[in-house]
Structure 1
């Protein structure tokens, strides 16, 4: 049987209210009493009920972080940063994964509200704006990575349009004119903005936009694999592929390996979002770093500000941006028209 506060009070021969004040650190008991109660509670194996304590104090000391998956290295970094920042302030983080599923997201939001979290950082699916708006009347909420167009909640975003523009411009600067793009869903902030940055860079280089080179889909490895196969099977396949989300990159690397293609000799490859594994890969993969660590830190800053009663509703700014940057490694090379014939032959053979 679990040890209750009443058990601790009986062992210490004090009232339950005295035990509660001492173990709650209210400062209303002497230091000697607090130390004695703490020792007795530890010896008995007493663990306070955070939900019950939250009902009494109005604070659960819990903060929710709701992301899509942990396959994406950016979400892993964000979870580590958020947990470390909150732990230093005496909060516990509840990590939840919604799988980019609107219904699961809605159910998870209900669960977090039932646990009376003190705040919430959410990477929204974009399909529960009304639910988030209603919940924000009870809980401070900050959206991260994506904007939910159905709500005006404070949001922290990467500069995805500029990041995709810089990445694509790097490839055009290397002489590539047929650049495949594998990007997330166009109904998401990141997917829509990364596509727009790609298109802007092509137009700046006077390269026509070819829809057969653009593939959008769910944020998962299979999207990358299926899209990569379609790109490589084109009559005139791309000389470079820009994979604009981390999950799809895993599928692209699998397909290029299966087809025996050499990067960057047969195909230049540029990926979005940082992962230590990309640097360890051979060849090391060039990336557009979306600044996951900075995004997470800023989201925590904004949430803590909103959790402060004096800060709630005090700011008119609703959207914050963190700049993306190009990290050049070894997976891209200048386009060589003379070598294009042999590469195209190898790509053609890889279809068999």
Structure 2
């Protein structure tokens, strides 16, 4: 069934059928209803490839994530999807598995115009190269970002947030505080470490190099790095984990060592994924507005696709410290 066949059955021109499908407000209600009645009756489906040739649009948005197994990204993706679908776009997901070569392969799909725009939830390419691409193709960074980049970006202030959650531990009376970092080659790992260091220095607290252990985002690395910290001659009394998954791994390591959280070791995480409020004890964390980040990123991308100028390039969303059982005030602090 072709568009011309629908037009013949509805006794209108093919152009009218096209307008009903693409710009229905330009067609009278009576004509629109007549055309839609025929479309529904014959189950007509527009030829997507033909439409792409005519409009040079794919109506596809490519979203690239560093790790699809991470619980953090589900809410971000939901925000992107809701805005995209509302505006007639389909979302295609690309998982890099933290591989920069895979990330580049997905970017090449944008360069080949197999998508109308891209939201990158990972930003580990060369900054100048990515900026050059963004000058010619609609692209938005979300969650991850590049220092000093002019690519439109939506994120929280990770330095300030890390400082905030570390300050919470200090206010609880802790002085021997460790940090299980994310990978230092990733901007979020560096920025959350910087926030931790700023909080410690502002209170004249020693930053023991042995108290800085690098993880890789996973539950397993949180567990293993926590065991290393507990094996120290003078183990920390509190630990800030880069994300909730590593924080939950750290909690398990403490429990498996026949110690208590927070009585022996207080633990805080970052991101406020759903499991953070389920694990026992519940995990103190920084809540990122995940859905709102995705929603805002997709809105910005639509602006770029429509050729609209952005008033600003960097959008910093508000975070919130969520205090739970894993960092309750400890009496008789050693």
Distance across 1 between alignment mates of 2:98 and 2:227: 24
Other-structure match for 1:348: none
Residue range with higher mean Cα deviation, 115-124 or 204-213: 115-124
SS at match of 1:136: helix
CA distance in 2, matches of 1:298, 1:27: 27
| Corresponding residue of 2:208 | 210
> What residue number does 1:321 align with?
316
Distance 2:89 2:304 in 1: 15
Aligned with 1:183 (options 181, 184, 194):
181
- Total equivalences in the alignment: 334
In structure 2, distance between residues paired with 1:254 and 1:224? 9
Instruction: Indicate the residue corresponding to 1:91 in structure 2.
Output: 89
Superposition deviation, residue 63 in structure 1: 2.2
3-state SS in 2 of match to 1:90? coil
Instruction: Give, in whole Å, the separation in 2 of the partners of 1:261 and 1:9.
Output: 75
- C-alpha change, 1:253 and 1:8, in structure 2 (3 Å) is farther
* Counterpart pick for 2:71 among 65, 70, 73: 73
Q: Deviations over 1:15-51 (max 9, x none)?
A: 7555444444466766555434433333443332434
Structure 1 residue runs without a partner (length 5+): 341-352
2:219 corresponds to: 221
Q: Could you say what secondary structure the match of 1:181 adopts?
A: strand
Q: Distance in 2 between matches of 1:228 and 1:47?
A: 56
Q: Residues 10 and 262 of structure 1: is their aligned pair in 2 closer, same or farther, counting only changes over 3 Å?
A: farther
Q: Which string of whole-angstrom CA distances, capped at 9 and with x for unpartnered residues, describes residues 231-281 of structure 1?
A: 122122111111122342343244334334322223211111112322233
Change (3 A) 1:31 1:173: closer
**How many Å apart are 1:144 and its aligned residue?**
1.1
- Please give the per-residue CA displacement for 1:188-239, whole angstroms capped at 9, x wherever unaligned: 2211111111111111221111111112233233322221121122122111
Residue matched to 2:59: 61
Is 1:296 the counterpart of 2:291? The answer is no
Q: Is the 1:285–1:330 contact (alpha carbons within 8 Å) kept by the matching residues of 2?
A: yes
The verdict on how the C-alpha distance between 1:138 and 1:7 changes in structure 2, with shifts beyond 3 A counting, is farther
Mean CA deviation greater in 176-185 or 34-43: 34-43
Distance 2:302 2:233 in 1: 54
Structure 2 partner of 1:152: 150
> Is contact 1:67-1:122 (8 Å) kept?
yes
Shift in Å, 1:116 = 3.8
Q: TM-score, normalised by structure 2?
A: 0.87
The root-mean-square deviation of aligned C-alpha atoms, in Å, is 2.8
1:1-352 to structure 2, matched below 5 A, reads 5=3, 8=6, 19-25=17-23, 31-114=29-112, 116-149=114-147, 151-309=149-307, 311-312=308-309, 315=311, 317-337=312-332
Task: Please say if residues 61 and 117 of structure 2, whose CA atoms lie closer than 8 Å, have aligned partners that are also in contact.
Answer: yes
Alpha-carbon distance in structure 1 between the residues aligned to 2:95 and 2:272: 20
Please state how far the C-alpha of 1:5 moved relative to its aligned partner. Answer: 4.3
Q: Which moved more, 1:126-135 or 1:222-231?
A: 126-135
Structure 1 residue 325, shift from structure 2 partner: 2.2
Structure-2 residue corresponding to 1:345: none
The answer (yes or no) to whether the contact 1:132–1:151 under 8 Å persists in 2 is no
Alpha-carbon distance in structure 2 between the residues aligned to 1:134 and 1:51 = 29
How much has 1:131 moved relative to structure 2? 4.7
| Distance change (3 Å), C-alpha of 1:7 and 1:246 | farther
Q: Equivalents in 2 of 1:22, 1:301: separation in Å?
A: 25
| Cα separation, partners in 2 of 1:31 and 1:196, compared to 1, 3 Å | same
Q: Structure 2: which 5+ runs fail to align?
A: none
Q: Is the 8 A contact 2:250 2:267 kept in 1?
A: no
- Alpha-carbon distance in 2 for matches of 1:10, 1:114: 37
Question: CA, structure 1 residues 279+256, in 2 after alignment: closer, same or farther (shift >3 Å)?
Answer: same
Range with bigger deviation, 212-221 or 293-302: 293-302
Deviation at residue 102 of structure 1 after TM alignment? 0.7
